[in-house]
Amino acid sequence: MKDFAFTGGRPDPFTFPTEELIKASEKALRKLGGDLVNYPGESGYKGLRELASMRFERREGVPLPVDNTSITSGSMQALELVLGTFIKPGDTVLTEEFTYSGTLGIMRHLQANIVGVPMDYVDGMDMDALEEKLKELKRQNVTPSMIYTTSNHQNPTGAILSLERRQRMLELAEEYDTIIVEDDCYGDIDFVPNPTPDSLFKLDTSNRVIFIATFSKILGAGVRQGYFVANQPHYGMIHHNRWDGGTSALASAIVAEFFIEHLDKHLEITNAAVGAKCQAVVDTLDEHVSGLCTWTRPRGGLFLWIDLPETTDMSKLNTLASEKGVGFSSGSAFHYAGAPVKAIRLAYAYCHVDDIPEGITYLAEAIQASQSEVVGEAAAD
Ligand SMILES: Cc1ncc(COP(=O)(O)O)c(C=O)c1O
């Protein structure tokens, strides 16, 4: 049976640049040689920090501060370090109502009180709702530890926090004296030219934003290269609790050598491939489940979010889809409180583009067959 894996936020395996990475590896090893006997140190390989800075400058017009950038084992380690520094058991944190399950896992592990802020799927977190939550917390004498947001092509909804909302979030963070952790995991995966507003980190004027990014989503999660950027005193506070000797300098150097030469070309090739897959998913949904469900139409990122009818039997949907080899993620995994929502997330970059119409057709059939009687009768009327 074919495997239609719409699970997990992985990039396109068919544009993975194996040959170029072989060349980059040779360059990296010749450059580093015996230096590899040393521990990389807590900030990590400078060449990759410079590359991260250049990557940011290409999009935002200003570089990242190289000396305040720290390479981590994927952005997941950056999240563990940053959240672990600022969240104590019982602390309150604010985030989008739907957000990355891995971040929620860390927050729960740290025993945070997670407050979900309503959002929409286009412009992200609702700032009036955020203000209300902050006011309510203040009335209870609670200062939240942080606002966590995925500003670009949010996981799981694909929302892009609008410029106006970014500016308002910064004002609110200042007014209520908290920090913002900006997770830019999906920045640079754009199917249309330059759709994302300035980053919160760039807009910040009161040293409240910690920026997190990764190479997992534009290259591969297997390289485990991510980073965080923070000004002092935050940078030092985060490193105070880091004990691992630094992230693999060899892996960092290979990624840096590859991207120094190929960043623009690689993004052009891989974004075109991922964009075509996203379009294939949208087209097949349009063909089969219009009128039954609603879904997002992403301009970038790796995810499409489907709101299913209330009449959907989620466990039946899971069973029917998996009988056809179709995998997806259940919406409730991304709900801040794990509520049982009638929604699913599709990650579209991993499947072969030619398999998408078949896989999504099976999914559409499974959705139709998972509706309870009420919808069946209504449809017959
Ligand atoms: C929003 C977000 N942040 C962080 C991560 C962690 O990615 P990695 O550790 O591979 O960089 C993910 C992975 O899916 C994610 O969706």
Within a domain: residue 21? no
Rounded distance, CA 172 to CA 166, Å? Answer: 10
* Other Cβ atoms within 10 Å of 237 Cβ, number: 14
Whether 87 and 203 share a structural domain = yes
Residue nearest to atom 13 of ligand 1 (CA): 9
Do 221 and 105 share a structural domain? Answer: yes
Expressed in angstroms and rounded, the spacing between residue 302 Cα and the centre of ligand 1 is: 11
Choose among 270, 341, 261, 277: nearest CA to 306: 341
- Do 183 and 292 fall within a single domain? no
Please identify, by atom number, the ligand 1 atom nearest to the C-alpha of residue 226.
11
With a Cβ cut-off of 6 Å, ligand 1 is lined by: 9, 74-76, 79, 100, 102, 150, 155, 183, 185, 214, 216, 221, 226
Same-domain pairing of 175 and 237: yes
- Strands (DSSP E) contained in 158-246 are 179-183, 209-214, 226-229
Q: Are residues 253 and 272 located together in one domain of the fold?
A: no
Any domain includes 27: no
What is the separation, in whole angstroms, between the first and last Cα of the chain? 37
pLDDT score for 23: 98
For atom 3 of ligand 1, which residue has the closest CA?
185
d(CA 312, ligand 1 centre) in Å: 29
Query: Ligand 1: distance of its center to the CA of 77 in Å?
Result: 9
Q: Is residue 380 assigned to a domain?
A: no
Which of 234, 262, 290 terminates a domain? The answer is 262
Q: Are residues 128 and 88 in the same domain?
A: yes
Residue 24 falls within a domain, yes or no?
A: no
The CATH number of residue 220's host domain is 3.40.640.10
- Ligand 1 centre to CA of 244 (Å) is 20
Structural domain span for residue 186: 34-262
Cα–Cα distance, 123 to 100 (Å, whole number): 17
How far apart are the CA of 304 and the centre of ligand 1, in A?
16
Residue showing tokens 């981590």: 72
Residue 36, Ramachandran bin (φ over 0: left; ψ between -120 and 50: alpha; else beta): alpha
Residues 150 and 299 grouped into a single domain: no
Q: Note down pLDDT in tens along the chain; length 381 residues.
A: 899 999 999 999 999 999 999 999 999 999 999 999 999 999 999 999 999 999 999 999 999 999 999 999 999 999 999 999 999 999 999 999 999 999 999 999 999 999 999 999 999 999 999 999 999 999 999 999 999 999 999 999 999 999 999 999 999 999 999 999 999 999 999 999 877 999 999 999 999 999 999 999 999 999 999 999 999 999 999 999 899 999 999 999 999 999 999 999 999 999 999 999 999 999 999 999 999 999 999 999 999 999 999 999 999 999 999 999 999 999 999 999 999 999 999 999 999 999 999 999 999 999 999 998 654 444 434
Residue 255 inside a domain? The answer is: yes
pLDDT for position 194: 73
Name the burial class of residue 17, with classes exposed (0-12), middle (13-18) and buried (19+) by CB atoms within 10 angstroms of its CB: middle
Q: Are 246 and 363 members of one domain?
A: no
> Strand 294-295 and strand 303-307: pairing?
antiparallel
| For ligand 1, mutation pick of 182, 217, 228, 346 (most atoms within 8 Å of CB) | 217
Q: For ligand 1, pick from 149, 155, 182, 212 the residue to mutate: most ligand atoms within 8 Å of CB.
A: 155
Does 229 share its domain with 310? no
Task: Kindly give the distance from the C-alpha atom of residue 102 to the centroid of ligand 1, in angstroms, as a whole number.
Answer: 7
Q: What is the pLDDT of residue 195?
A: 79
- Reported pTM: 0.96
Q: For residues 24 and 18, what is the distance between their CA atoms, to the nearest angstrom?
A: 10
What atom of ligand 1 comes closest to residue 73's alpha carbon? 9
What tokens appear for 287 in the block?
């063909």
Q: Which of 262, 294, 323 is the last residue of a domain?
A: 262
> Is residue 289 located within the same domain as residue 256?
no
Task: Give the three-class secondary structure for 157.
Answer: coil
- Whats the size of the chain, residue-wise? 381
Whether residue 22 lies inside any domain: the answer is no
pLDDT of residue 73: 98
Total number of domains in the chain: 2
**Same domain (yes/no): 210, 281:** no
Establish if 316 belongs to a structural domain: yes
Indicate which CATH number applies to the domain containing 297: 3.90.1150.10
- Identify whether 20 is part of a domain: no
| 288 alpha carbon – ligand 1 mean position (Å) | 31
Position 374 scores a pLDDT of 56
Q: Are 210 and 279 found together in one domain?
A: no
Domain end among 204, 228, 262: 262
Question: Ligand 1: distance of its center to the CA of 75 in Å?
Answer: 6
